[in-house]
Chain A
């Protein structure tokens, strides 16, 4: 056996090329998806004569997608354990219904209602998780049952009709912007301030990571590359924040999504619990024999999913400004498809948050672009189905090539 030598930091230009190709190789899946996403965006941008990328439509796209992304991060964890959750669409509906009934019919303060809903979401997750983790009933079956039960409860709660409208505060969950603390006329100062803080934080973390790598004698990317990378990221962050600040500031939903995606990306890549979830999905017996409490972990991933599904339920209700019996119908499929398009494996043990995010956006852009073009819901489904199949085919092909 001969091991190919690891590249050394030779001349700077060659070093950068090597670093880039290395990065590309080890993340071929993510880059492949990203390229597909960009290609699809360019396609619709041309087809819709520029409507796709208009700020109004972009905002719309993010809002439409927000619930898929919110739930995709939780679904990803479940899929990594080797399970699935079919009930999330119905949980979205039942939570929305509960919020509607409490706020509109019983006049309960909306903040209290949000707290109640999140708690209930956790309980729904715990209920299903209990059967999956401790009674060893396959997740597919438990959540299929959940899907029926919660849809039925929704219709019962709403007595078959829509309930609304909601007070302003509640609506702002999905349509509001973060408050400007400085009451400036032109630019939204809070947004800019967040941009600056975020940039500083990112640079700080990167520097610390690099120091840590050096401390343990690991090879680091060339210094150049490091500097250029940080400059590019800072410009991107500040540019984006400036754009937002010149409008109305950052939308609440965007802040929430950013927080969720960052948090879950961190959990999956760098935390002990994330490591254990991957191990459990990869080989449950080996994980258990290594001291991982696998049933408990599985239970937690379902509770987590319940909370995220109830967040999505609140966002949907706030956005529609009413609770309807068929809210979230079929949403579980978009969420699950986002994860698989993003490279998660139905066998468990594989999948990344960034992948699921890109997958969710791909589905979102397809939905949005085709709607603008006036493609009917029928053909939209056909196209989404084919994209899902193609993405997984790409995975299988890649895997065989590397074997």
Chain B
């Protein structure tokens, strides 16, 4: 048995009205990759915040031992000093600073308060090399994709001489290739004796890299599985997480597809800043009544941009093209008009675009359809309480009260609030942008069930997703998008993971040659 590098004993953390962690014990051995899994709101992020000093000593009960000595961190810098580095669910890089500037932020290479740029830059280059990122240290963060940003975060951790790296859902926003690269990196680190804690809802990844897996449920440790000894299957992990067996990942659905209810023709849109860059290029898509249409593609293919440009021109400039609802041309040039024409768009970026974090869950749910809970511009609050409570129960949103601030919900539960908001606006056509990002297996199933219910009511759904199994499991028809263009279309019955991937890749080669 290898040495224990970290031990957390009997951790209890209480928020007003909620016991987020109840007597949790958790330990990591030297040089292992330890996965931490559990349903949304199980307490994973909270446990890591306790560990890294974001919740300082004294605000929780229990003890933490790191490399044999007890730790009482008062803030993040203290935990970083001993080699504990956390990379959050949301990235924390400063967009308009360069890689080198971000790299040593708060940890500047300086003599007498003057930054030594030569050293900073050469060191940055060195760390970038170690994470396999070939970028100049002078590149601005905004000019890089999320995948590369994630690597910068990791390089930054290396610069702090990390001994235990904590990653909270690092691959949630990454495409498969970038995810692969990141996991590869973790394995490399392991060789060099750096341990990691990996929080993820993607169980295939967990299975691939983890040496041991700890499962949290409702703020308590359920079990720790040792992958080196036994062969742990995904189903086994799921059983631990949800407390029962899950036979299907996708609920069955009776198909009943009708006529076209929504259609976009010759849709063009340009980038809001680089005005000559086309983000949507002659796009034609349609949705039928009772149909789930998937849009697949790599990150940066222009799917979100397309969806937002359709939704009341919320993105892009010089937008042209026609929209038809039930065969008739409709005006959806403002968000207001789009909503009143029965269109809804649930964003992929819940914090920036989806939620008013400092407000109550209930206010967030009703925001897009205040008419429904008011009469003559006066809000009927009891009615609002009632309808939003129904959404909380139906979608199983974990919150201490419907009046809790959205800020204090776990990531996955915030996602469910965004979804509730758009369900409450009772749309005809619902565009879902990565609706299951950061959501646990059980909740995913619930969301697929909701999708099924909506289409059985005769609505049309456009599903944007980077997870191919999800696209294949849920959709009736699939579009493949690349560089702002639709490059393929196929019924789900003819599609397979390989076929869709090949579609993207062949196109790529074709454009590259």
Pick 25 A–B contacts, CB within 8 A, sort by A.
A1-B19, A1-B20, A1-B41, A1-B42, A1-B218, A2-B219, A3-B18, A4-B400, A215-B382, A216-B386, A218-B385, A271-B374, A271-B377, A273-B377, A275-B379, A276-B367, A278-B363, A282-B359, A283-B355, A286-B356, A286-B367, A289-B311, A289-B345, A289-B353, A290-B368
Number of B interface residues in the complex (CB < 8 A): 49
Question: In the complex, which of the residues A270, A271, A290 has the most CB atoms of chain B within 10 Å of its own CB atom?
Answer: A290
With A2-B219, A216-B386 given, is the CB distance from A276 to B353 under 8 Å?
A: no
Q: Which of B320-367 contact A (CB under 8 A)?
A: 334-336, 338-339, 345, 347, 352-359, 363, 367
Q: Which residues of B contact A213 (CB under 8 A)?
A: 382
Q: A3 touching B378 by the CB < 8 A rule?
A: no
Contact with B along A261-273 (1 / 0, CB 8 A): 0000000001111
CA distance A84 to B370 in the complex (A): 27
Chain B hits for A283, CB < 8 A: 352, 355-358
Q: Find out whether the CB atom of B380 lies under 8 angstroms from the CB atom of A212.
A: yes
B477 close to chain A: CB less than 8 A: no
Interface residue ranges of B388-423 to A (CB < 8 Å)? 398, 400-401, 421
Q: Which residues of A contact B363 (CB under 8 A)?
A: 275, 278-279
- Give B350's nearest chain A residue, CB to CB: A286
CB neighbours (8 Å) of A270 from chain B are 378-379, 381
Set of chain B residues within 8 Å of A282, measured between Cβ atoms = 356-359
Q: Considering the chains assembled together, what is the distance between the CA atoms of A215 and B381 in angstroms?
A: 12
- Does chain B have a CB within 8 A of A168? no
Inter-chain contact A3/B17, CB cutoff 8 Å: yes
| Residue A57 lies at the interface, judged by CB distance under 8 Å to chain B | no
Complex Cα spacing A1 to B371, Å: 34
Task: Tell me the complex Cα distance, A289–B311, Å.
Answer: 9
> Cα distance A372–B119 when bound, in Å?
65
Is B318 at the interface (CB under 8 A from chain A)? no
Complex partner residue of A287 from B218, B338, B367, B383, CB under 8 angstroms: B367
B25-46 to A contact mask, C-beta < 8 Å, 1/0: 0000000000000000111000
B370 touching A4, Cβ below 8 Å: no
- A4 surroundings in chain B (CB, below 8 A): 17-18, 400
With a cutoff of 8 Å between Cβ atoms, the chain A residues found around residue B383 in the complex are: 212, 216
| B357 → A minimal CB distance (Å) | 7
Number of A-B residue pairs having CB atoms within 8 Å of each other in the complex: 108
- Complex interface: chain B residues within 8 A of A290 (CB): 335, 367-368, 421
Interface residue? A291 (CB, 8 A):
yes
Q: Are A289 and B314 in contact (CB under 8 A)?
A: yes
B55: chain A residues at CB < 8 Å are: 403
Contacts of B16 in A (CB 8 A): 402
Q: Does A293 contact B (CB under 8 A)?
A: yes
Query: By the criterion CB–CB under 8 Å, are B378 and A271 in contact?
Result: yes
Contacts of A287 in B (CB 8 A): 356, 367
Residues of chain A within 8 A (CB-CB) of B380 are 212
Distance between B94 CB and nearest chain A CB, rounded to angstroms: 19
Q: By the criterion CB–CB under 8 Å, are B385 and A216 in contact?
A: yes
The answer for the CA separation of A285 and B17 in the assembled complex, in Å, is 30
Q: A270-B379, A276-B370 are in contact. Are A217 and B386 (CB under 8 A)?
A: yes
Q: Does A288 contact B (CB under 8 A)?
A: yes
| Chain B residues whose CB sits within 8 angstroms of the CB of A293 once the complex forms | 334, 336
- B347's nearest neighbour on chain A, judged by CB, is A289
The one of B18, B347, B355 that contacts A1, using a Cβ cutoff of 8 Å: B18
Given A2-B219, A279-B363, A286-B355, A291 contacting B335 (CB threshold 8 A): yes
A4-B18, A218-B385, A349-B359 known; 4 new pairs, CB 8 Å cut-off, are: A3-B17, A4-B17, A285-B352, A289-B354
Question: Is there an interface contact between A291 and B314, defined as CB atoms closer than 8 Å?
Answer: no
Q: Which 10 A-B pairs have the closest CB atoms?
A: A282-B356, A216-B382, A290-B368, A216-B386, A283-B356, A290-B367, A291-B339, A2-B19, A213-B382, A272-B370
B374 touches A272 (CB 8 A): yes
Query: Which residues of the partner chain A approach B98 to less than 8 Å between Cβ atoms?
Result: none
A residues less than 8 Å from B42 (CB atoms):
1
- In this complex, the member of B219, B380, B381, B382 whose beta carbon has the largest number of chain A beta carbons within 10 angstroms is B382
Q: Does B314 lie within 8 Å of A279, measured CB to CB?
A: no
| Interface check A387, CB cutoff 8 A | no
Q: Which of A3, A275, A288, A350 contacts B358 (CB 8 A)?
A: A350
Whether, in the assembled complex, B77 has its beta carbon less than 8 Å from a beta carbon of chain A, the answer is no
Query: Residues of B contacting A217 with CB < 8 Å?
Result: 386
Chain A window 291-326, contacts with chain B (Cβ cutoff 8 Å), 1 for yes, 0 for no? 111000000000000000000000000000000000
Interface residues of A in 142-201 (CB under 8 A from B): none
Option from B22, B311, B336, B377 in Cβ contact (under 8 Å) with A2: B22
Min CB–CB distance B317 → chain A (angstroms)? 15
Do A288 and B335 touch across chains, with their CB atoms under 8 A apart? yes
Which B residues, 22 to 73, have Cβ-Cβ distances below 8 Å to chain A?
22, 41-43, 55
> For the complex, what is the distance from the CA of A403 to the CA of B18, rounded to whole Å?
12
Closest to B16 in A: A402
Which A residues are CB-close (under 8 A) to B398? 1
List A contacts of B401 (CB < 8 A). Answer: 3
Which of A282, A292, A403 lies at the interface centre, i.e. has the most chain B CB atoms within 10 A of its CB? A282
- Closest chain A residue to B410 by CB distance? A1
Are B359 and A279 touching (Cβ within 8 A)? Answer: yes
- Which of A363-403 touch B at CB < 8 Å? 402-403
Chain B residues whose CB sits within 8 angstroms of the CB of A288 once the complex forms: 314, 335
Residues of A within 8 A of B386 (CB): 216-218
Contact B382 A218 (CB under 8 A): yes
Closest to B349 in A: A285
A216, B384: Cα distance in complex, Å: 9
CA distance A350 to B345 in the complex (A): 27
Instruction: Determine the residue in chain B with the shortest Cβ distance to A292.
Output: B367
Q: Within the assembled complex, what's the spacing in Å between the Cα atoms of A276 and B356?
A: 11
Q: Is the CB of B382 within 8 A of A349?
A: no
Q: Which residue of A lies closest to B335 (CB)?
A: A291
Q: Which residue of A lies closest to B312 (CB)?
A: A291
- B22 cross-chain contacts in A, Cβ below 8 A: 2
| A272→B352 CA distance, assembly (Å) | 23
CA distance A292 to B345 in the complex (A): 14
Of residues A1, A2, A276, A349, which shows the largest number of chain B Cβ atoms within 10 Å of its Cβ?
A1
CB contacts (< 8 Å) of A1 on chain B: these are 18-20, 41-43, 218-219, 398
By a CB distance below 8 angstroms, the chain A residues around B41 are 1
B residues near A2, Cβ cutoff 8 Å: 18-19, 22, 218-219
Task: Kindly provide the distance from the CB of B12 to the nearest chain A CB, expressed in whole angstroms.
Answer: 11
A1 vs B39: C-alpha distance in the bound complex, in angstroms? 11
Residues of A within 8 A of B335 (CB): 288-291
